[in-house]
């Protein structure tokens, strides 16, 4: 099974989760500035909501996909909104790429909110989630 992990992280929260997921499934976490260069069965895509949407870099990554993607597994970190799934699902629908119902989300530190998150428990949960997805 061919897997890829891509993420966008301004403050480092989503990067931590991406690295935990990548390690758990035996691949490398790369930023969304690195396009997919081959077909993948599962794309783990991580982001966080910014102004009730995803960052333009995430949108640009999705629009640039020109390889086959079996399905997308969304993961996100956030201080307020729990998930970015509905934002990325709409973008992937335009490319006829399915976004799985299963997703991982956890709190991320932002200013005074959720200091210390994601924490070790969050990273462990993300890894367990990813292993379950590929099993």
CATH number, domain at 41?
Answer: 3.40.50.360
What is the number of structural domains in the chain? 1
pLDDT band at 108, cuts 50/70/90? low
Q: Distance (Å, rounded) from C-alpha 129 to C-alpha 102?
A: 9
Mean pLDDT of the chain: 91
Q: Distance (Å, rounded) from C-alpha 7 to C-alpha 88?
A: 12
Q: Per the confidence metrics, is the pTM higher than 0.85?
A: yes
More confident residue, 110 or 95: 95
Phi, psi of 5 (to 5 degrees): -125, 125
Q: Which domain holds residue 128?
A: 3-134
Please list, in sequence order, all residues whose beta carbon lies within 8 angstroms of the beta carbon of residue 57, skipping any fewer than 6 positions away: 8, 32, 33
For the stretch 43-76, pLDDT in tens is 999 998 777 789 999 999 999 999 999 999 999 9
**Two tokens at 77?**
């970190």
């Amino acid at each position: 099974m061919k897997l890829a992990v891509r993420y966008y992280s301004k403050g480092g929260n989503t990067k931590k989760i991406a690295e935990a997921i990548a390690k758990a499934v035996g691949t490398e976490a790369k930023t969304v500035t690195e396009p997919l260069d081959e077909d993948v069965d599962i794309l783990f895509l991580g982001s966080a909501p910014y102004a009730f949407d995803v960052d333009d870099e995430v949108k640009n990554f999705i629009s640039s996909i020109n390889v086959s993607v079996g399905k997308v597994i969304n993961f996100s970190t956030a201080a307020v909104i729990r998930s970015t799934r509905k934002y990325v699902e709409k973008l992937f629908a335009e490319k006829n790429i399915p976004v799985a119902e299963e997703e991982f989300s956890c709190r991320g530190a932002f200013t005074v909110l959720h200091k210390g998150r994601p924490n070790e428990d969050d990273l462990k949960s993300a890894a367990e989630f990813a292993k379950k997805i590929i099993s």
